[in-house]
Amino acid sequence: MLAERKITRLGETTARAVDVCVIAISNRNLPQLVEAGGFLTDLYDRLKVLEIHLPPLRQRPEDIPLLAEHFYQQTFQQRTGVEAIFSPDVMEALQSYNWQGNVRQLRNAIRRACALMCTGRRRKAH
């Protein structure tokens, strides 16, 4: 049991000690769900050691350039060596979009763009 700092791996019969930190995220109002009986009180109490409220991406457009460049690098640049070149118009469009799916939606949009039409300049060989 995780509460006892022990787990049993799939296929094993012996529990082993672990030292882990569980990080959980939700886009739902968990206290409301607990009150309505839609989320286990015990689980909520175990998870709520430290709560960090992070506003949705649409409320923090200043984070978008760094995230977009990271997702581009992670998705495409490492495999191809093509540098990220986001035009000011593209960055303005990304920052003004109402990202209902938050960071996951931005990541998927960058991945989709890379798959369809990424352009840029090749890195020089060292």
Q: Which residues contact 5 (CB under 8 A, 6 or more apart)?
A: 17, 18, 19, 20
Residue 81 structural domain: 57-117
Which of 28-37, 95-104, 107-116, 117-126 is least confident? 117-126
In a domain, 68, yes or no: yes
75 and 41 share one domain: no
68 and 99 share one domain: yes
- Give the sign of the dihedral formed by CA 93, CA 97, CA 103, CA 109: negative
Write out pLDDT tens, residues 70-107: 998 888 777 777 776 789 999 999 999 999 999 999 99
21 and 41 share one domain: yes
Strands (E), the chain: 6-7, 16-17
In a domain, 123, yes or no: no
In a domain, 52, yes or no: no
Q: Is the pTM of this model over 0.75?
A: no
In a domain, 124, yes or no: no
pLDDT-based confidence at 126, cuts 50/70/90? low
23 and 64 share one domain: no
121 pLDDT more than 80:
no
39 and 66 share one domain: no
Domain count, the chain: 2
Residue-level pLDDT at 53: 86
Instruction: Answer yes or no: are the C-beta atoms of 31 and 45 closer than 8 Å.
Output: no
